[in-house]
Structure formats: C-alpha cells, structure tokens
Structure 1
Amino acid sequence: MKNVLADNHYPGRGVLWCRTGNGDSLGGYFLTGRSPASKARALHRTPEGALLVAPSEPSAHDHLRHYVAARQSGQWLVFGNGEQVATVADRLDSGELPALALDGLDYEPDPPIFTPRLTVVADGRAGGRAWFGAARHSNGGRTATNRLTLEVSHLEPGEGVLLTTYRSDGHEIATGDPFTEVRITAGNRRGLLDELWDSLPPQLRIAAAVFSPGGLAEADVRQGAPAQS
C-alpha cells in the first residue's frame, strides 16, 4: 500500500478494506487536500457513533466537503467519500442488499474532474465480505454515470483493496483507478492506522481512520495539524 500511495502525488480521498496480520477484517478512510478549504476539515465522532467530516472551525455547510464518512447500519458498516454514505445506509436499513443499495449513485458535480463517489459496505458477520461501489464520470464526453460494483471476499492476512478519488503524477490530476489490490504489513488495527497515515503525502494529510464492522464507535482516528488561516 505504501508504494501505491507513494506513486500517487494526490490521492484525494480513499477507502480501504483489508485483513491485518492478526486476521482482523478492517476498513480505512482517509482525506488529503491541497486547498485551504479542503484542509479546514476534521473527522468528528457523532453521539450515535458515526464519523462525520465537518469543518475544523465554524463555517457554512458544503455538501461536497462535509458529510457522514462512516456509519453502522445493523450488520453493515458503510463508509465513503460523500453524502451517498447516508443514502446507502438508509437503503440497507430498509432491507436492500448491498449491491442494490450501491446502485443509482452519481459522481460529484464538480467539473472539470467530476470526483468519483466511493462507497464500501462491509458485512459484520464472519467471513469479511465487502462490496465496493464507484460512481464515475466517463473518460469521454458522455455525461451518464459509470457505476462499478466489486465484491471482495476471502482476503488473506496482508491483503487489501484500495480506491482513491484521484491519481496524479505530480503534474496532471485524473480520477483514480477503478480499484487497486494492495499488500498490508500491519499486524493489527493500530498498526494499520500508522501504515495508512505514513503512506499519505505529509503536506496533504488531513485525517484518517481505521475501524471494524460493529466497532465504529471505537474507531482509531488521526488528524493532521490544523490548517493555518
């Protein structure tokens, strides 16, 4: 994972599902940013145990930058990079299965890059299954959303799947690859947070969190230094 992220000069936001060396199936979420507005954010715990991306200082709500990033919905852990997390969680609460709950989402209306909506639904029961959903803009001129769903199961310790909103060579920024299989060296949850945090560009780090299905209220969260105004 560290090599994959080191080759990406601006990953944006990312979702990770993996299995650490001790056999735990864990999710991870991170934010990086370049602009002052992007950096003026933090991960907050809500009284209900969810994780909320919100301003680090008082400001108006921006639906593209402020959202529920992770929420437990019965047996399902849902996390991602936008307001669609709440939509998917509500659908699961109503009885929809993960693949259907991830359907019908759209990419963010932020031209010219049209940021993908990335969402993970992880099963809290034994087996460590997870479904990744990505709502992406066409690489051409077509405006209709490309919706990709990936089911991941039977990960071995040290294996993971990573999605990032962007990829950059340091000059150009494009939408991230549909998904990337990565190797994890961490042996436990705390080690995974260290590995994820250390893999991100230091000058862009905003926040990261690692959590387990059913254990979102005890998520390990790390924040970057507050943005300077």
Structure 2
Amino acid sequence: MDQLNKVLEENRYPGRGVLWCRTGDGSRLGAYFLTGRSAASRARSLRLAADGDLVVAPIDEREHDHLRHYVAARQSGEWLIFGNGEQVATVADRVADGLPMPLSLGGLDYEPDPPIFTPRLTVTAGGPTGADAWFGAARRSSLDRASTNRMTLQVSNLEPGEGVLMTTYRSDGHTIATGTPFHEVRTTADSRSALLDELWSALRSEVRIAAAVFEPGRLDQVRILQA
C-alpha cells in the first residue's frame, strides 16, 4: 500500500480524482480534486452552491458545458455522492429512490470525449453506519470495442490512515492513459485540513485547479482550495 502523496506525485496528470479515507483522528472523509491543462479546463471553480451542492462551475459567464460543469457532490439522505461528472446527480436521484448501491451506480458510460474517453468515477459514502463506501467506475475498454467496462467496489471499515483513490488518468508527463482502476493508499493526515493540504501539495502546480475535502452529512462544512 503506497502513500497517497507518492501515488499522486508520480502521476504527472491525474485528471480528476475521488478519494475515500480515514484520517488519523478517526474521521471518515471524502475528497475530490480537479486538474487541467487547457484554458477551458482551468477556467473552472469548485464552490458550494446555494442549494447545498458542491459544484464545478465556470469562473466567468461562459456557456455551460456538461462535461466540464456539473454537481461534484450531493447529500442524499444518509449518503454523500461525489464524482467527476453529471452522473453524480443521476446516482443521487437513484439513491433517493431507494435503489441498492450496485443498481444506483450501474448503467453509466464513460465520457464521449475522444481520444481519451474519460472514465466516469462516482462514490457513495456514509450510509447508516457512516463507515461504508461504494465506488463505481465506467471505463472504455483498452481493446477495440467501444462498449463500457463497469466496475463496482465496496469499501468498509477502513482503519485510520487507510484510503482508496481513483483518478481518471495516469501520465508520465508525455502520454496520457486511462487511470489505474483503483489504488489502496495510506495517508499521514490526522485531520480534514491536513488531508486537504496533503492532496494539494501532491498535485503539480502547473495543472492543479481545485480540491475539496468533506464529510458525509456535513457537506456544508466542506473545505476547498483553488489555484
């Protein structure tokens, strides 16, 4: 199991990422971050909207782009849903309707953005015990077929210092490929603020846009850093 900061530092362009972990103080926390290279990708902010959703929004009055601007986190009953696209709202609605987690996360497709075909990553976390998380990933096959590979991962009862990370991409600085399905990681953070600092410092300054750390049931207390 690698250190969280090492995994991110070695990935020169992780794209967007979702993390569920337990810090040293015992807190169970989710995190979401954005990195980008193009001017359009970088012209975004991560902010708490008036309705309580955490949203990725344009920093100016540019037209809404459904691949770049979306709800990144939403509380739905006992569950906090977060991820890298418009599917977050879809999954939150399914959870609110009482669908089981595998069905709530099922049937999603990767983004229609050739040639990369960005995976859609979604996490539902919290629940009745506060200790559970479900990860869903919709990824294009690395073979020639265009159909979606869908993965659901249940994570329970993390020990302090443990976490699970997914990123949309992995890059050596020259080529970009679909990210590794998931990483089990360790964090030295002992609080919400320390986790946000660890994430932020591990992302390369030339691509980082925003990062947020939040707790199920307390999305209104989200902590955000912006480039």
Decide: shared fold, TM above 0.5: yes
Paired residues for 1:1-229 under 5 Å: 1-224=4-227
Q: Secondary structure at the match of 2:109?
A: coil
Q: Secondary structure at the match of 2:74?
A: strand
**In the TM superposition, what whole-angstrom CA distance separates every residue of 1:137-180 from its partner, at most 9, and x where no partner exists?**
00011111000000001100000000000000111100000000
Q: Secondary structure at the match of 1:196?
A: helix
TM-score (norm 2): 0.97
Name the CA distance, whole Å, in 2 between partners of 1:217 and 1:99: 27
* Runs (4+) off by over 6 Å: none
Name the CA distance, whole Å, in 2 between partners of 1:151 and 1:51: 23
> How far apart are 1:188 and its partner, in Å?
0.6
Name the CA distance, whole Å, in 2 between partners of 1:74 and 1:46: 18
> How far apart are 1:128 and its partner, in Å?
1.2
**In the TM superposition, what whole-angstrom CA distance separates every residue of 1:79-105 from its partner, at most 9, and x where no partner exists?**
000000000000011111211100000
> How far apart are 1:48 and its partner, in Å?
1.9
Structure 1 residues not aligned, in runs of 5+: 225-229
**1:27–1:210 contact (8 Å) kept in structure 2:** yes
Q: Secondary structure at the match of 2:40?
A: helix
Name the CA distance, whole Å, in 2 between partners of 1:185 and 1:203: 24
**1:128–1:155 contact (8 Å) kept in structure 2:** yes
TM-score (norm 1): 0.96
One-letter amino acid of the structure 1 residue matched with residue 73 of structure 2: A
**1:39–1:206 contact (8 Å) kept in structure 2:** yes
**2:17–2:33 contact (8 Å) kept in structure 1:** yes
RMSD: 0.7
Alignment coverage as a number of residue pairs: 224
Name the CA distance, whole Å, in 2 between partners of 1:73 and 1:127: 13
Name the CA distance, whole Å, in 2 between partners of 1:147 and 1:197: 29
Q: Secondary structure at the match of 1:68?
A: strand
Structure 2 residues not aligned, in runs of 5+: none
> How far apart are 1:126 and its partner, in Å?
2.7
Q: Secondary structure at the match of 1:10?
A: coil
One-letter amino acid of the structure 2 residue matched with residue 151 of structure 1: Q
Q: Secondary structure at the match of 2:160?
A: coil
Bigger mean CA deviation after superposition, 207-216 or 90-99: 90-99
Q: 1:148 to 1:154 in 2, by over 3 A?
A: same
One-letter amino acid of the structure 2 residue matched with residue 4 of structure 1: V
